Structure 1
Amino acid sequence: MRTSPIRLLGTGLLAALFASLCCIAPLLALVGGVTGAISAFGWVEPFRPYLAGITVAVLALAWYQRLKARKSAAACACEGEANPTFWKSNKFLLAVSCVALLLLAFPEYAGAFYRQQQPVAKAATVQTDFTQSVKLQVKGMTCAGCEAHVNQEIGKLTGVFSVSTSYEKGSAIIKYDSTKVKPMQILQAAKKTGYTVAIEDKKP
């Protein structure tokens, strides 16, 4: 039984979207100001390789069916549609394939978007006597988009000079002016992202 090309493309696009959802969601949060529920998509990350595989397999099948149908039509000199609609054309198949592959590759080029969104470091004319740092444990981050989300929220606070977040280490190091902002304020700002955040205890 042959599956409809439109259904195949829809399945491939949906799988690609889900595969990159945990990375795209933080970008949407930065652009739209949405906070709080972004980390809820972190559960998708373990399934990303499987979703990527489904996407590639479905797109390959769609192209196989399209090329096979064209070859069969040419072999039997069958008359096809003189002017097929855009939805049934190779251009549409190519467009959907490109969108799906771009979604799958999103984590690789996400930094191009986030560099413009991250707050500018405010370290100029810092009074070093009041400069302190605090390290937060941030659980639930999966990509550079998550890092940018944390940086964005904490960077809004007056008195924060810089934020360095690592999703691989699950942490964020913040330098701040202790006369303008306190660690608990930084903690509350970080919690707005929806990730599980706590101040890391300093070892004695």
Structure 2
Amino acid sequence: MTFGTVSVVVPPEAVGEIVVMTMVERISFSTAPASPGLVGTGLGFDISLSRDIQPLKEATVTIGYGDSLPAWVNPSRLVLARYVEGAGIYVPLVTTVDTAAKTLMAKLNHFSTFQVMQRSPSDTVSTVKVFPNPFRPKLGHAAVTFSDLPALTRVRLYTVAGEKVQDLATNAAGMAAWDGKNLSGANAASGVYYGFAESGTQRKTFKVVVER
């Protein structure tokens, strides 16, 4: 890529058959709307397979952006966003940024068009978005994403009986991901879970449904 390096690691048996994966740098992008506070940098790429299938397990993409970012970008707020062609929108992925190494990493369960974007965190927990919800691992869902929150928001999940299931914190872009496991590392059972987002004096309650 002219803007840096991109590597994709696909776990064994993620596809189930022999295919060819192609990755091409994107020169232009759709002007489709993105989530509020999400602005494209113009850096991105397409990933496709030689068959019309999608991975059964998450792939990991690592992007080395070097010195190619526009001057207005705050690297700590970078996210990788996937273009959803059927809906005509960009959806941000939970992204780990290493500003010292100038890299960002994200998990993918769908190959498509991707663009590096800058996301501004919300200033209130009342705007929280939870997706996918219900969380259905059998349909290929790998994690529940909590977005549109302030940076460093505490996100706690509890069973209906009040047992703590997970305790998370959002990144600089106001996002966090739950892999569906409890604090012991076991899969959380099917059911309804109560979520609590807390930032300073702000609090927001929501529900997350797990269907295994």
Q: Normalising TM by the smaller chain, what interval?
A: under 0.3
- Structure in which a larger fraction of residues adopt helix: 1
TM-score with structure 1 setting the length:
0.25
Report the structure, 1 or 2, having the larger strand content: 2
